[in-house]
Amino acid sequence: MNSSPTNTKPRKLGRGLSSLISEPVSVEVAPNIQTFTEHSTSATNQSQSIPVTQISVSPFQPRRAIDEAALGQLADSIRRSGVMQPIIVRPLPNAGFELVAGERRWRAAQRAGLETIPAVVRTLSDADAAEWALVENIQREDLNPMERAWALRQMQEKFGLTHAQLAGRVSLERSTVANLIRLTELEPEIAAMIVNGEISAGHGRALLGMPSGAPRLGLAKAAAVGGWSVRRIEQAVQRPDEAIPEPAKQVIEEATGREAVLRDLERQVSQQLGTKVIINTDKQGKKGKMVIEFYGLDHFDGLLARMGVRAT
């Protein structure tokens, strides 16, 4: 007896969240709605306009930093054309909604001055909400390797998943999942190098072959300063006594000394202004930027006064 083959292939990435929702999404915009109290529990993908103030951030959001410049550009686009793709939310037990996917659109909509945003309301478990949030960002290639690594580790630990199970949930190879999660074992300083693009995730994996601590951190700095290949790090890990040549050590010492000077300057300026100050420079220390944080309009006015600037 002939029977049609059963499609057992796992879901593949590349089609956005429509691959998880399984139905096309239609957008229905009602910008004048001020309140929304009914929770949708149906499987429909008809969007509804929900007040942005009734939506809270997902605890499963894997992205740890949002590009402010890109967010501003998205807000400008939303002012001109509106929100073209609805966000996805799930109802909270008491009231309001929790973001599942679309945090950048939600934040940009608030920045653009929108009171409501089109959203698809779905009833999801914690595991499903975490999966959808991670898959959306992986598909959009929005996450840096460390954000992906920590998101996968969070899912693994919270829901007790094996690497194979986790790989099946997010449509990645098991080896890819295992290698990403291992990156969370790196020192915060090395993780920051990966986030900033000074070294790659491949460099990070190679560094895991060396015991943690100062030697591994020193090797990472040498690789960043010298522009080492992954293969060069692997060779250095096998011969730790020869890991860092003298020229590289000198460059590292100079960079470390410059870092100490910058931190001291940050401390002095912070004390003078009474707020947190961050100073970043290029590798040569010849140019960069200084970020002065403020926590409200009154605080901002006070900072301006301390710098001798009068707001008009």
More confident residue, 275 or 44: 275
Q: Is the pLDDT of residue 54 over 50?
A: yes
More confident residue, 23 or 56: 56
Query: Residue 190: which of 145, 235, 143, 134 has the closest Cα?
Result: 145
Residue 222 located in a structural domain:
yes
**pLDDT mean across residues, the chain:** 76
Tell me, yes or no, whether 219 and 118 share the same domain. Answer: no
pLDDT tens per residue, range 113-128: 999 999 989 888 888 8
Residue 170 located in a structural domain:
no
Q: Is the pLDDT of residue 58 over 90?
A: no
| CATH number of the CATH domain containing 26 | 3.90.1530.30
pLDDT category of residue 181 using cuts at 50, 70 and 90: very high
Residue 163 located in a structural domain:
no
More confident residue, 14 or 178: 178
More confident residue, 206 or 227: 206
Tell me, yes or no, whether 227 and 267 share the same domain. Answer: no
Tell me, yes or no, whether 236 and 267 share the same domain. Answer: no
Q: Is the pLDDT of residue 104 over 60?
A: yes
What pLDDT score does 29 carry?
A: 34
Tell me, yes or no, whether 119 and 32 share the same domain. Answer: yes
Q: Is the pLDDT of residue 241 over 90?
A: no
More confident residue, 302 or 163: 163
Question: Degrees (nearest 5) of the Cα angle 31, 35, 41?
Answer: 100
* Last-in-domain residue among 80, 97, 131: 131
Q: Find the mean pLDDT for residues 26-55.
A: 53
Tell me, yes or no, whether 29 and 113 share the same domain. Answer: yes
Residue 78 located in a structural domain:
yes
Tell me, yes or no, whether 42 and 82 share the same domain. Answer: yes
What pLDDT score does 283 carry?
A: 62
Residue 250 located in a structural domain:
no
Residue 270 located in a structural domain:
yes
Tell me, yes or no, whether 34 and 126 share the same domain. Answer: yes
Residue 9 located in a structural domain:
no
Tell me, yes or no, whether 86 and 120 share the same domain. Answer: yes
Strands 97-101 and 55-56: parallel
Strands 116-121 and 48-51: antiparallel
CA distances from 285 to 75, 155, 280 (A): 34, 40, 9
Tell me, yes or no, whether 238 and 266 share the same domain. Answer: no
Q: By three-state DSSP, how is residue 263 classified? A: helix
- Non-local (6+) Cβ contacts of 3 within 8 A are none
Q: Count of domains in the chain? A: 3
Highest mean pLDDT among 123-137, 145-159, 239-253: 145-159
Tell me, yes or no, whether 207 and 239 share the same domain. Answer: yes
Residue 97 located in a structural domain:
yes
Query: Residue 112: which of 74, 67, 68, 69 has the closest Cα?
Result: 74
Neighbours of 171 (CB within 10 A): 15
Rounded Cα gap, residues 236 and 244, in angstroms: 8
Q: Which residues are catalytic?
A: 103
Tell me, yes or no, whether 121 and 22 share the same domain. Answer: yes
Rounded Cα gap, residues 267 and 51, in angstroms: 42
Tell me, yes or no, whether 84 and 23 share the same domain. Answer: yes
pLDDT category of residue 42 using cuts at 50, 70 and 90: very low
pLDDT category of residue 12 using cuts at 50, 70 and 90: very low
pLDDT tens per residue, range 183-193: 999 988 899 89
For residue 101, give its domain range: 18-131
What pLDDT score does 255 carry?
A: 61
